[in-house]
Structures are given as structure tokens and as C-alpha cells.
């Protein structure tokens, strides 16, 4: 019987997904419904089919932002350097998952189970619907709200967009129901009550800040309502006593333990985990997270990490021209737990790793999400971390203008304590703002300007390479930052460089017009130097692109991006969808 249930579920979901462009599919026969939604095991089986969590791809999601240069054809990169239109942006308008969710919400009530179990499954269905529509609102703003599956004859199939305010109210209604009725005790890796509260906090913070900083919506007057909701949801997580920042008193290792562990079940910071399962061939993507695969961190991101004493890296004399080895000296320990540092040793080797430089990349290599072992390539992925709740709480309080020193002490300063950094002091932050952050976010003002900017720094550092940066820039109305082309490692000129910090040279940079000597010169350890031929971007002879040809920062692109405001904060409905339903009108200049 169990196998037959699986076949029925596969039948439901496969048919529901047979046409992503429409909501008019009605694949589920009454016979199938009558024979399936009868027991708790039926409901769990269907919910298992809806369960979908981000995996190692989380560590690749910042491509195309100011944090990560990319050689991949990511959408935002194509938009800001190309000629985007509703004809060539044709993805995203997919509704098959919503059909599956609504079908469940219409039929779960048939099961003869206890009332609390029924509410639990209803909460799960509404959690997934809130998550689905949250993604749609982030992309399109106004979208049609459908709370039921539709027949082909249903006129509402061809209705216009619903206003963002209506859709978000519906999302909040769903996620609040979910947070009140989903059970606390569930199987490891499944959605529980606290996952729903975390999603509610995330949605509310996004919407509150988006409304505050996006005047084109004319919703600024309702921003605080959502900021208060975010603050309260985060505080509920904080007051639960169920979670804590992972801190064993070892600032050089504690942070990285969250991202290179095959088992996070014993770490109370992980609110929701995508469980690594070698039997199901789930891997962490080590071959894509590490090395020169599409993405590489920008120097701007590296520079945003504080010094170990809490001062700014930009205040160090000559910081713009520091070598790779100098960049990592006396820094926030999270830097060397997120990216390859001088002296890092790869599993299976006894020698320090020498960065493999590659044109179109920045030179920095990522460690976050990489399991440095020869035995296994898999890691558990913390989809929701308690650190996010703390940062949401602090940001919401700061944006509301109600933040006090104690609020920082119970939130951000917990993260700084793990890293061994001094506490963030409210009066100092507001009295001594970082000019670089001020330039990046000119629309931040008021008496809490300094602490808001420092919270944004903390969020950038804590969540580096975890797929937060793009959404953050969009909600903060900071798209213009994407016009800055990411740069990489700095080299003062042609010559030999130590890349491992042991005082022994490892690479030799020569002009693109020179020939690599044969035999190659060796260093004091008798090891051949690695040669790179430097030139301007596009020099076919060069293997290393530098901003000044023979010196400067590594260059990833010369295509000047253009972020059009407010247009590019949204996406167009694909043209063929508007042709099918003329009531769907484009917004914001699309």
C-alpha cells in the first residue's frame, strides 16, 4: 500500500507540473482524491513531495552582486549590462507548485485524524504557500493571488495582478497560521513551528524595509507595521530558549563549523537543516563552491571585514594596496573561515595551498560550504540559522528608531563574541559613521544612521556567500551598488610574490609580452614558481588581467553595468503570458 501511495503522489505532482504557464490544469481525478487523502500517512506523503530546501546552491547565490564576481550568465548580470525586456526575460512566471499546494489545502480535510494533526498539516500547506508567494512578490511585486486550484472555465484564471499590499497581507495570514499550528516536534530536517516563525520574521523584515526605502510603492506609511512584526517574531525565537549561537570559545573555528559539518543535529544554532544524505546522492557541491567555478569574492567584500580589534580595515594605512598575505593579518576570524587564507592546507596535501589565479576571477577562493576532507564531499546545510533571527531583531529595532544598547548586546554582540571581536557600541556607531558605508547607502538618515550601517556590515559579513546579499540590496533600494564592477587581488607590479605567508615566493608575474622561462625558476624550497602573464582585460596573451596592465587589482569585467531605478527592482511578466492574459499589465517601466 505504501508504494501505491507514492505512485499516487508522483502522479499528482507530475501532472500538476505539466504546464508551468497556466493555473487551469485539473489533473487530479475525484477517484484519486477519494482514495488518497484519508490518513495522516497520506498527508505526510503528500507534504514530503512539497518539501524542498536549498542545498549547497545557497553558497552560490550571491553571484552578480557586489560580493561576488561571476562568469555565469546570471539574470541580474545580464540585465544591468544588456538590453532586458519582457521578451528575453521569460522565466519565473511558473505556478505549478502553487497548484500542488492549493490542491493539498483543499483536500487534506478529508483525512480522519486528530484536530491538532489536521491543523499541523494545514499549517504546513500554508507555510509553503507563503514561501511561494514571497518569492513571487520579491520578483514581480503585484501578482494574482490564488487560494484555490482553478478549472479551465474559471474566469479568475485571467484576472489582473492583485496589489502588493493585498498579496502580502495574504502571505502574512498564511505564515502566521503556520507559526501557530505547525508542531514543534517533527522529524529532523522537516518544517517545524520555529521554522515558520523564522520565515515570518524574514518576510516581515523584507517587506518593512522595502516599503520604507521604496517611495515608488507609496507604502511607506505601513512599513513600521512589518518592522514591528519582524522584531516580535525574532524576539519570540530569542525568548524560546531553544536556540543559541554556536560558541565553544574558539573564535578561529566555531563559525566554520556551521558550514563544513556532515551533521548539524547537535548544533542549536541551526533552526532548519537540509540534511546531507549520501544514500540519496545529495552532495554539497564541493566541486563548485571551491576554486575557480563561476564565482569569486570581491575585494569590496573582503575589505568590509573589521580588524580583530574592531577597527575598520579601510583605516589601515595603505590598505588599498595590501598583498594577499597582508589582507588576512589581524582580521575578523570569519574572514579566514569563509575564504582561503595564506597557509591554508587542502586535505590530502602537506603543503600550503597556493591560490590558482584565473582571468575573469578575483583570485579569492571560497571555503564556506566546502568540506575539506578526502573522505566525503557532503555537508548539512543550515537553511535557517539563529544568527539571522538576531540580525533581524537588531535591524528592525534600528529601523524603527527604538534600538538601545541592550538590544545590541542580546543580538549582534552575540555574533561578535563568537568571533572574538569587541562589542558594537551604540553611541560610538552613531557618532562615527563609516564613510564607505555612507557612500554605499546614501538614503540612510536619522539619529540611528550609524548603527543601521554597522548592522548592514554585520549582516554582509555573517551571511557572506549564503545568498542574502541580492535580496538585501533590493530591499534597501541599493541597486546602484551593482554598477560597481567587482575587483580582486592587488599586485603592485611585475615580480615574485609569496602567497602562503611563509616568506617563500610562490608565483612570478611577468608581462604578457614575455615568454615563460624553460626551465622555470625555483624558489628557496626547490619548487617551480607558478607563472602568470599580466595584461589589460581582453589581452589574448595574458593569463592575468590587471587594472593597469602590469599592476593593480585583478579585473573581472569591463562591461559597465547600468541599474535603472526603480525598474530593475522588479521583473517583467514574460511577454507571451501577457499575450495570453491581456489583463496582466507591466509595471515600473517594463
* Peptide bond between residue 557 and the one before it cis (omega within 30 degrees of 0): no
Distance between CA atoms of residues 298 and 304, nearest Å: 10
Q: To 10 degrees, what angle do helices 193-213 and 164-181 make?
A: 160
Domain containing 501 equals 493-550
Q: HEC profile for 514-543?
A: CCCCCCCCECCCCCECEEEEEECCCCCCCC
Encode pLDDT of 531-576 as tens digits: 999 999 999 999 999 999 999 999 999 999 999 999 999 999 999 9
17 in a domain, yes or no?
yes
pLDDT score for 37: 93
Q: Confirm whether 510 is domain-assigned.
A: yes
Do residues 475 and 210 lie in contact, with contact meaning Cβ atoms separated by under 8 Å? yes
Tell me the β-bridge partners of 555.
Answer: 487
Q: What is the pLDDT of residue 398?
A: 98
For residue 38, being part of any structural domain is answered with yes
326 domain residue, yes or no: no
pLDDT tier at 17 (50, 70, 90 boundaries)? very low
- Alpha-carbon distance 11 to 312, whole Å? 57
CA–CA separation, 387 and 194 (whole Å): 14
Q: Which pLDDT tens digit goes with each residue over 126-151?
A: 999 999 999 999 999 999 999 999 87
End-to-end CA distance of the chain: 51
The whole-number pLDDT of residue 27 equals 44
Please check whether residue 339 lies inside any domain of the structure. Answer: no
Residue 559 lies in a domain: no
Is residue 245, in this structure, part of any structural domain at all?
A: no
pLDDT value for 62? 93
* CATH classification at residue 188: 1.25.40.390
Domain boundary, last residue among 191, 214, 237: 214
Q: How many domains does the chain fold into?
A: 2
Answer yes or no: are the C-beta atoms of 380 and 50 closer than 8 Å.
no
List the grid coordinates of 10.
Answer: 508522483
In this structure, the number of other CB atoms found within 10 A of the CB of residue 217 comes to 20
- Beta bridge partners, 487, equal 555
Q: Is 515 inside a domain boundary?
A: yes
Q: Is the pLDDT of residue 13 over 70?
A: no
Contacts of 168 (CB under 8 A, 6+ apart): 137, 207
Cell of 568: 530593475
For 448-472, the pLDDT digits (tens) are 999 999 999 999 999 999 999 999 9
If pLDDT is split at 50, 70 and 90, which confidence band does 26 have?
very low
The secondary structure of the chain in percent helix, strand, coil, rounded to multiples of 5, reads 45, 10, 45
Sign of the CA dihedral running 54, 59, 64, 67 = positive
The stretch 360-380 carries a mean pLDDT of 87
User: What's the confidence (pLDDT) of residue 281?
Assistant: 54
Last residue of a domain, one of 185, 214, 243: 214
Domain ends where: 164, 193, 214? 214
For residues 47 and 53, give the distance between their C-alpha atoms in angstroms, rounded to a whole number.
Answer: 13
Amino acid at each position: 500500500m505504501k508504494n501505491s501511495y507514492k505512485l499516487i503522489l508522483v502522479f499528482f505532482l507530475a501532472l500538476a507540473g505539466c504546464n508551468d504557464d497556466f493555473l487551469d490544469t485539473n489533473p487530479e481525478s475525484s477517484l484519486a482524491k477519494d482514495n488518497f487523502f484519508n490518513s495522516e500517512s497520506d498527508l505526510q506523503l503528500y507534504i514530503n513531495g512539497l518539501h524542498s530546501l536549498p542545498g549547497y546552491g545557497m553558497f552560490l547565490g550571491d553571484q552578480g552582486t557586489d560580493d561576488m564576481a561571476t562568469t555565469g550568465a546570471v539574470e541580474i548580470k545580464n540585465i544591468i549590462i544588456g538590453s532586458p525586456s519582457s521578451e528575453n526575460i521569460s522565466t519565473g512566471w511558473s505556478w505549478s507548485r502553487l497548484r500542488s499546494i492549493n490542491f493539498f489545502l483543499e483536500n487534506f480535510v478529508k483525512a480522519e485524524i486528530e484536530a491538532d494533526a489536521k491543523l499541523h498539516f494545514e499549517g504546513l500547506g500554508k507555510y509553503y504557500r507563503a514561501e511561494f508567494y514571497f518569492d513571487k512578490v520579491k520578483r514581480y511585486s503585484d501578482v494574482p493571488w490564488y487560494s484555490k486550484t482553478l478549472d479551465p472555465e474559471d474566469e479568475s484564471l485571467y484576472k489582473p495582478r492583485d496589489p502588493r499590499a493585498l498579496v502580502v497581507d495574504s502571505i502574512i495570514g498564511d505564515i502566521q497560521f503556520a507559526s501557530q499550528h505547525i508542531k514543534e516536534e517533527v522529524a529532523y530536517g522537516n518544517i517545524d513551528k520555529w521554522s515558520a516563525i523564522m520565515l515570518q520574521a524574514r518576510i516581515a523584515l523584507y517587506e518593512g524595509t522595502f516599503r520604507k526605502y521604496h517611495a515608488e510603492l507609496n507604502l511607506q506609511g505601513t512599513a513600521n507595521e512589518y518592522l514591528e512584526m519582524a522584531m516580535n517574531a525574532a524576539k519570540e525565537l530569542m525568548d524560546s530558549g531553544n536556540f543559541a549561537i554556536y560558541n565553544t570559545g574558539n573564535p578561529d573555528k566555531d563559525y566554520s563549523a556551521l558550514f563544513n559539518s556532515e551533521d548539524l543535529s547537535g548544533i542549536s544554532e541551526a533552526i532548519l537543516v537540509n540534511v546531507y544524505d549520501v544514500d540519496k546522492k545529495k552532495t554539497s557541491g564541493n566541486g563548485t563552491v571551491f576554486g575557480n567555478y563561476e564565482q569569486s569574492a570581491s575585494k569590496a567584500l573582503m575589505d568590509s571585514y573589521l580588524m580583530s580589534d574592531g577597527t575598520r580595515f579601510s583605516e589601515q594605512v595603505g590598505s588599498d594596496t595590501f598583498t594577499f598575505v597582508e589582507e588576512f593579518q589581524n582580521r575578523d576570524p570569519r574572514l579566514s573561515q569563509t575564504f582561503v587564507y595564506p597557509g591554508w592546507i587542502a586535505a590530502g596535501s602537506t603543503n600550503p595551498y597556493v591560490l590558482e589565479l584565473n582571468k575573469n576571477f578575483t583570485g579569492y577562493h571560497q571555503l564556506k560550504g566546502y568540506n575539506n576532507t578526502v573522505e566525503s564531499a557532503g555537508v548539512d546545510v543550515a537553511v535557517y540559522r539563529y544568527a539571522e533571527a538576531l540580525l533581524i531583531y537588531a535591524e528592525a529595532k534600528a529601523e524603527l528608531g527604538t534600538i538601545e544598547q541592550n538590544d545590541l548586546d542580546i543580538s549582534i554582540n552575540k555574533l561578535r563574541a563568537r568571533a572574538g571581536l569587541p562589542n558594537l557600541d551604540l553611541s560610538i556607531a552613531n557618532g562615527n559613521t563609516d564613510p564607505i558605508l555612507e557612500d554605499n547607502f546614501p538614503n540612510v538618515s536619522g539619529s540611528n544612521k550609524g548603527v543601521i550601517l554597522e548592522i548592514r556590515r554585520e549582516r554582509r559579513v555573517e551571511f557572506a556567500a549564503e545568498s542574502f546579499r541580492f535580496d538585501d540590496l533590493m530591499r534597501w533600494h541599493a541597486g546602484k551598488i551593482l554598477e560597481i564592477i567587482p575587483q580582486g587581488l592587488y599586485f603592485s607590479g611585475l615580480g615574485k610574490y609569496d602567497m602562503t605567508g611563509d616568506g617563500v615566493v610562490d608565483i612570478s608575474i611577468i608581462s604578457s609580452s614575455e615568454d615563460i622561462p624553460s626551465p622555470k625558476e625555483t624558489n628557496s624550497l626547490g619548487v617551480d614558481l607558478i607563472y602568470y602573464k599580466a595584461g589589460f582585460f581582453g589581452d589574448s596573451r595574458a593569463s592575468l588581467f590587471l587594472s593597469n596592465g602590469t599592476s593593480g587589482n585583478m579585473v573581472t569585467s569591463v562591461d559597465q553595468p547600468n541599474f535603472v531605478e526603480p525598474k530593475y527592482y522588479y521583473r517583467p511578466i514574460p511577454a507571451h503570458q501577457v499575450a495570453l492574459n491581456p489583463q496582466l499589465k507591466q509595471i515600473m517601466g517594463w
